[in-house]
Structure 1
Amino acid sequence: MFALIDRTCIDPERPALGGRLAGMMGFFNASPVDLSAEIAHVLVFPEWQGTGIGARAAALLTRLCLALPSANPPGLGLRRVQWVAHVDNAPSRGLATRLGMKHEALLRWHRVIPEGRPGRESREGDPRPSRVSRDSVILAMCCDDWEEGQRDHVQGLIDKPLKLKN
């Protein structure tokens, strides 16, 4: 997990942080054997949504994954980085698309989700009838995409000025 820090303002309760906590994101299902990782558990606090901080953080993690260890800055040299989102989560899917990730799959009935969340209702007789499931989409960027131009696209997102609200 990585903290997203807005360094344009100091949190008076946590001055050692060097800014205000704007969210977090990290890796999930990372595999050194398969040279792959998923950017997941993305959380950008409401005050920072729409500022570009989430896109920059996701771009930095994508670069960390796909850049070779010999690059400057060095990366992990993974072959694949993916993003799995609830099919109805347009902001999440949109962020992955802005990164340059390609839609690869729809996973129907992918995960059971808490009651009260939108999703597919379970069938009659289901062992967990009080729960619903979600469909997920998989988007990904691979090392060949990276080498064929996505590196520059991702760097452009990293370099893009943020729209912080100070």
Structure 2
Amino acid sequence: MATGQFYYEQKRLENDLISLEPFDQTIHITKFFNQTKYHPDLLKYVDFPQTETEEQFTKEVYAPLHDAPGECLYAIIDKTKPQTSSTEPENQNAYAGTIALTNTDKGNAATEIGIMIFKDFQRTHVGTNAVGLLLQYTLDPALDGGLGLRRVEWKTHFENVASRNAALRMGFEFEGILRWHRAFSLGVPVEALEKRNGTSGELRGRHTAYFSIVWEEWDEKRPKVVALMQKKY
């Protein structure tokens, strides 16, 4: 079940190692919810809504994404794992994480990639190939089957060194850090800000590291991304 309101076609994407399947609530949401519940480190740098049940998660997290035209969610399937059909629930052992096009701006031909790889699939071919497939789809020209977008962003908490390194490795250019970019609910309140403002419960602030790949550099970067996708782990 593809994201119904997405600005562009949500194609199924694949190579020899992985496939990106449109996220299907009936197949993928249980494992996704359980992964975030039992592996809280996945959310260390993500200001994710706190939900206690799968039903609450579906209503408060998944449903708004499904209905937003700027959001496009994929399940990452590791094709190197035994499977009969990537769309059948029994193949949860091959479901390796999620990747999304988010904050998509059709008028400015720009989007952002967000990715979460489950614990057992980290430091494998999965993340590199998932990002690579989406870069090809978003930045390749329409004549080559892509969307021909002008800009693809990667944004992350400035303390998330692994994510920052991944962005650089995949060819994204570092643009800078937006200080106090947003309030961040995780962690202890900011006492200095409380004292200054005479308030209580001031949330931490997320400083956000910005990266991007833009259209005029993609032809040069593309072969390097493809080479990374073919690398043996």
| TM class by smaller structure | 0.7 to 0.9
Which one has the bigger strand percentage?
1
Q: Is residue 166 of structure 2 the alignment partner of residue 95 of structure 1?
A: yes
Using structure 2 for the length normalisation, give the TM-score.
0.61
Could you tell me how far apart the structure 2 residues matched to 1:33 and 1:5 are?
31
Query: In 2 relative to 1, CA 86–6 (structure 1 residues): closer, same or farther, beyond 3 Å?
Result: same
> 1:47 aligned to 113, 117, 120, which one?
120
SS for the counterpart of 1:100 is coil
Q: Where do residues 127-146 of structure 1 align in structure 2 (5 Å cutoff)?
A: 129-146=201-218
Q: Is residue 84 of structure 2 the alignment partner of residue 9 of structure 1?
A: no
Q: Where do residues 98-113 of structure 1 align in structure 2 (5 Å cutoff)?
A: 98-113=169-184
Q: Is residue 101 of structure 2 the alignment partner of residue 30 of structure 1?
A: no
Query: Deviation above 4 Å: which 4+ runs of structure 1?
Result: 119-122
Could you tell me how far apart the structure 2 residues matched to 1:126 and 1:28 are?
36
- Contact 1:122/1:129, CA 8 A, preserved across alignment: no
Shift, 1:18, TM fit = 8.2
Q: Structure 2: which 5+ runs fail to align?
A: 1-72
- Contact 2:193/2:202, CA 8 A, preserved across alignment: no
Shift, 1:116, TM fit = 2.1
Using structure 1 for the length normalisation, give the TM-score.
0.83
Give the aligned partner of residue 123 of structure 1. Answer: 193
Q: Structure 1: which 5+ runs fail to align?
A: none
Which one has the bigger helix percentage?
2
Could you tell which deviates more after superposition, 121-130 or 82-91? 121-130
Superposition RMSD in Å: 2.4
- Contact 1:109/1:135, CA 8 A, preserved across alignment: yes
Aligned residues: 156
